[in-house]
Amino acid sequence: MLFHVRMDVHLPPDLDEAVRADLIAREKAYSQRLQRAGCWPHLWRIAGEYANYSVFDVGSIDELHDLLAGLPLFPYLTVKVTALATHPSKVVAG
């Protein structure tokens, strides 16, 4: 199942720099592990914002929720999830 996910990051401005650096390093490692596993095939930064658009390829909405909840930045995220379906006008290879 494919899901389009927008994530907006809202780190507190007074967050300790060491804590911030640790969170970001753990977030990068976790997200890259999911990308390498194939369940996070697309990740784009939104220009001018501390936000991203992503596409997840997972077996269920529950699996997606578990992956998102595992993000170290999850407590600081606003997340919007949209389920995706194949469009009937899509050109299919073949």
Can you give the residue ranges of every domain in the chain? 2-84
Confidence of residue 94 (pLDDT cuts 50, 70, 90): low
The model's pTM is 0.91
Q: What is the mean pLDDT of residues 30-58?
A: 98
Domain 2-84 has CATH 3.40.50.10860: no
Q: How far is CA 33 from the centre of its chain?
A: 12
Please give the Cα distance from 87 to 3 (Å, whole number): 14
Cα–Cα distance measured from residue 24 to residue 22, given in angstroms and rounded to the nearest whole number: 5
Rounded-to-integer distance, Cα 91 and Cα 94, Å: 9
Instruction: Tell me the β-bridge partners of 6.
Output: 53, 80
